[in-house]
Amino acid sequence: MPPLIRASALRPVLQSTLQLQLRQLATRRASRSAPTPPPAAPPKPPRSLTGAYLTLAVFFAGSAIAFAYKMQEDEKMLAPYSYTQHRVGANTLLTPQHALLRVPLTPDEERLFDNLPNLVTVHHVMLGAPQIQIERPYTPINDGRLGDLELVVKRVPGGEVGRLAHSLKPGAEVAMRGPLQTFNLDQSQYDTVVMISTGTAVAPFLQLLSKAHPANTNFRLLHALPNPGKEDWATRFLEPLQAKWGDQLHVQRIPPGAVAKSDVQAALKDAGRVLVLVCLPPTLMQPLCGYLTPTLQQGPLTGLLRDIGLRPDQVKKLE
């Protein structure tokens, strides 16, 4: 019986099966010997974007630190209606009764002493004695925009804040608030400004002459000499002002006590459009021009200044 399938017929089938198995084997070997590729890394942000994030983070951190610092500085800054502590720069006795207190200001604080537009603004500050909850006003004798605030504080018998001010050593802290406006002067309205004072009441005039600039107005100061035997501390502050103002400032030292009619009349001679500023204790102010009212309004003009013919709008009484 002939075989059902001849061997020659089987040969191509066997060959193709063998080739297939060889190919599979080769593929398996190849796949085994090839290194496994590493897992795909997460896509990296572009290098420039990372830099931007970093810059932003540094910027925000810097701003936050600057803001916190500014808040802290603001809390320490001189302000009109809340007390802040200020370090005394120097405290010198001008006479046994008068201390010159120097309080350094920061540039931001200096700007608080700016003039109102087209005016010369005279300011005062309040010194506090927190332990006994009192405060007293003091008028800087200089232009606060130029650095240290200079206060001349008189020590009076039994005076609380005067005693405190005299006791302050350089580097000590003092509670202060301000500045507060004392008065404003529009120089352009006057040909002559007459100023009458005694003792530390010259302070607003020293500040006015420090802050104002020579223009067309003449200033005449009648300032009382101290009582016999007392030292005169004002001269050293008047001399540089005289140099600044030249002929436009006339300083006349008058005897202590009631202001004499002849001195006032001399100061008013050829005065043109005149303003008289008066800063005196009540006992001396009363015969010259009358009291301020209890609420510190001007009150009626009476006394010598009314008698020599001045109108109320030509006189300003300072507390």
SS3 61: helix
Q: For residue 276, say whether it is annotated as part of any ligand binding site.
A: no
- CA–CA separation, 191 vs 217, rounded Å? 5
Give residues 100-159 in contact with ligand FAD (rule: CB under 6 A): 124, 136-139, 151-154, 156, 158-159
Residue from 128, 162, 179, 290 in contact with ligand FAD (CB under 6 A): 162
Q: For residue 88, say whether it is annotated as part of any ligand binding site.
A: no
With respect to ligand FAD, which residue has the nearer C-beta, 45 or 137?
137
Decide if 204 contacts 221 (C-beta within 8 A): no
Q: How many residues bind ligand FAD (CB under 6 A)?
A: 19
Question: Smallest gap, in angstroms, from Cβ of residue 158 to ligand FAD?
Answer: 4
Sign of CA dihedral 31, 35, 39, 40: negative
Give residues 288-307 in contact with ligand FAD (rule: CB under 6 A): none
Decide if 198 contacts 256 (C-beta within 8 A): yes
Sheet holding 120-129, edge to edge: 84-87, 173-185, 120-129, 134-138
- CA–CA separation, 302 vs 255, rounded Å? 22
Question: Smallest gap, in angstroms, from Cβ of residue 135 to ligand FAD?
Answer: 9
CB-neighbour burial class of residue 209 (10 A; exposed 0-12, middle 13-18, buried 19+): buried
60-68, 160-168, 269-277, 302-310 -> range binding ligand FAD (CB under 6 A): 160-168
Can residue 97 be called a binding residue for ligand FAD (CB under 6 A)?
Answer: no
The residue whose two tokens read 């810097």 is 62
Q: For residue 161, say whether it is annotated as part of any ligand binding site.
A: yes
Q: For residue 138, say whether it is annotated as part of any ligand binding site.
A: yes
SS3 content of the chain, % helix, strand, coil (to 5): 40, 25, 35
With respect to ligand FAD, which residue has the nearer C-beta, 99 or 268?
99
Q: For residue 156, say whether it is annotated as part of any ligand binding site.
A: no
With respect to ligand FAD, which residue has the nearer C-beta, 138 or 190?
138
Q: For residue 317, say whether it is annotated as part of any ligand binding site.
A: no
E strands in 32-156: 84-87, 90-93, 98-103, 120-129, 134-138, 149-154
Give residues 185-204 in contact with ligand FAD (rule: CB under 6 A): 200, 203
With respect to ligand FAD, which residue has the nearer C-beta, 94 or 271?
94
Q: Which residues are annotated as a binding site?
A: 136-138, 152, 154, 161
Residues of this chain that interact with ligand FAD (CB under 6 A) are: 124, 136-139, 151-154, 156, 158-162, 182, 200, 203, 319
Q: Which residues are annotated as a binding site for FAD?
A: 136-138, 152, 154, 161
